[in-house]
Amino acid sequence: MKEEHENTDLRQQREDQITEHYAALLPLFGEDPTREGLVKTPRRVARAWLELTRGYYEDPVAILRSALFRESYHNMVVVRDIEFYSLCEHHLLPFFGKAHIAYIPNGEITGLSKLARVVNTFSHRLQVQERMTEQIAQCIQEALSPLGVMVVVEARHLCMQMRGVAKQEAYTTTMHHTGAFDDPATRSEFLDQLFKDEREK
């Protein structure tokens, strides 16, 4: 199992190595790495990358299990509009949006903030939206053993907006479900609640 926090010495070593690589990249872009505005850029970028990929050093199952509570509640728990930012593994450009989570407890619940932390953990890795959606759902299923889980993720991808087809308004929606949400009626109950506000506009 991964440690939730990375060793400080290892983190510094990684920061130094990333800094060196970015210092070498700047001339390849046609820039002067000794220019005043760029002298400290490789170090800044290295620190940003360590923050944006910190999810590799966090254990999402342990996060959920750190706040488990015995509870006889067996109805749907829904947490909507969890904002996230991630990096597309194909172009290393951001994609961002909102995750919506529903689960039906089976004797245990977790702190609601832990669900948001799980989204943060998986989004702070190089990702594709499809896999991230599935990972979040499977993590909750493993950690809580609920009757079922469903995750819906809506996102904009800068690799589509800034390059290639350059479609500014395109949204991508992905879904993954387990257990009780394999039933179309249960899925519809969640989706009806999730998109009710949009239909009423």
Residues belonging to the active site: 88-91, 129, 157, 159
Residue closest to 78 by CA, chosen among 97, 47, 100: 100
Q: How far apart are CA 178 and CA 199, in angstroms?
A: 26
Asked if residues 20 and 81 have their Cβ atoms less than 8 Å apart, the reply is: no
Q: What value does the CA radius of gyration of the chain take, rounded to a whole number of Å?
A: 20
Asked if residues 104 and 77 have their Cβ atoms less than 8 Å apart, the reply is: yes
Asked if residues 184 and 175 have their Cβ atoms less than 8 Å apart, the reply is: no
From residue 105, alpha-carbon distances to 61, 68, 70, 82 in Å are 16, 11, 10, 20
Q: How far apart are CA 88 and CA 117, in angstroms?
A: 19
Per DSSP, the three-state class of 2 is coil
